Amino acid sequence: MRISVVIPCLNEEEYISETVKKIKESDFPSEDFEVVVSVDSATIDKTSEAALKAGADRVVSNEEKGTSYTRQGGADAAKGEILAFLDADCRPPKDWLKKIWETFEADDDKELGILSGPYRYYDLFFITRFFADVWQVAVMWIIMAADLFFKRKWAIAIGGNMAIRKTVLESIGGFNKKFTFFGDDSDTALRIRRAGYKTLFDRKLKVDSSARRLKKKGLIRTAALYTAAYVKLYFGSTEPLKRDLDHKRIA
């Protein structure tokens, strides 16, 4: 098995069917990938049933709450060499898996540990979507500049659009289960980078995503929360933000 697509879920009955169907329409050999839906223990709707009906190859039920537990549960059950992670409300383009596989295949020395890319919000007004796109690109350049200035290894990942070599994830001990939401993805990327592997954030590796969280919290507040989480991680802390510990929503 080349790629396992892992989708963590908490009460995602409304979105999961379309996401699974989009993955199944990929222009990548069907025998070379699987879809693993990993369901949070707090789920009370029919996410599992909807996922299986839409064509998921496997549904994993977890005993613990939180994004990291749910991602790890899916990763443990996955058979693929590469673990590709999506959010339940993401809509990947048909060539998403192909791009992921080609990027890792081009890495002859198998030094690339993690690959990620941005979201493209499909349900925002044009001007808001424009600023969201600019923010994602700006963050990447700011972090690169900080890397040069502070001389610290940098890495960034977006949890709903990232792929990790399974052996690399295992080598760093998997996901940090102290995180329930903000910062878990970049924590993983930073640990992979600081373990000596290469990381890549490819602006062309995009997936469409719902802007439901941006609409709920607002672009500025959401940007501030993610930025604060990353700054805390970048300067050496492995402890999640206090607000993250109280966060109950899964990506």
The string of pLDDT tens digits covering residues 217-237 is 666 676 677 777 777 777 765
Burial class (CB in 10 A: 0-12, 13-18, 19+), 111: exposed
The pLDDT tens digits for 22-35 are 999 999 999 999 99
- CA atoms of 233 and 115, how far apart (whole Å): 19
Residue 48 in contact with residue 17, Cβ under 8 Å? no
pTM of the model: 0.84
Backbone torsions φ then ψ of 136, nearest 5 degrees: -60, -45
Spell out the residues 6+ positions from residue 112 whose beta carbon is closer than 8 angstroms to its own. 103, 104, 165, 197, 198, 199, 200
- Please compute the mean of the pLDDT values over residues 111-120 and round it to a whole number: 93
Lowest mean pLDDT among 56-70, 81-95, 97-111, 135-149: 135-149
Is-contact 5 33, C-beta < 8 A?
yes
Whether the per-residue pLDDT at 239 is higher than 60: the answer is no
Q: Which fold has domain 3-245?
A: Spore Coat Polysaccharide Biosynthesis Protein SpsA; Chain A (3.90.550)
Q: pLDDT band for position 42 (50/70/90)?
A: very high
Pairing of strands 112-116, 207-209: unpaired
Instruction: Compute the distance between CA of residue 112 and CA of residue 120 in angstroms, rounded to an integer.
Output: 24
Cβ-contact 73, 9 below 8 angstroms: no
pLDDT tops 60 at residue 85: yes
* Core vs surface per residue 173-205: b (16+ CB within 10 A) or e: eebbeebbbbbbbbbbbbbbbeeebbbbbeeeb
Domain boundaries, the chain: 3-245
Distance CA 52, CA 47 (A): 9
* Band of pLDDT at residue 244, cut at 50, 70 and 90: very low
Lowest model confidence (mean pLDDT) among 147-151, 189-193, 201-205 = 147-151
**What whole-number percentage of the chain has pLDDT above 90?**
55
83 backbone dihedrals φ, ψ, rounded to 5°: -105, 115
User: Mean pLDDT over residues 135-161, rounded?
Assistant: 72
Is the sign of the CA dihedral 113, 55, 39, 209 positive or negative? positive
247 has a pLDDT exceeding 80: no
User: Sheet harboring 58-61: ordered strands across?
Assistant: 58-61, 33-39, 3-9, 82-86, 161-165, 112-116, 198-201
Q: What is the mean pLDDT of residues 62-73?
A: 91
Contact by Cβ (8 Å): 155, 175: no
pLDDT at 250 over 50: no
Section 15-44 average pLDDT? 96
What the block records as the tokens of 198 is: 């290469």
Report the pLDDT value the prediction gives residue 146, as an integer from 0 to 100. Answer: 65
Give the range among 75-84, 108-117, 232-241 with minimum mean pLDDT.
232-241
Please, what is the average pLDDT of the chain? 84
Q: Which residue has the tokens 């001389």?
A: 151
Three-state secondary-structure class, residue 209: strand
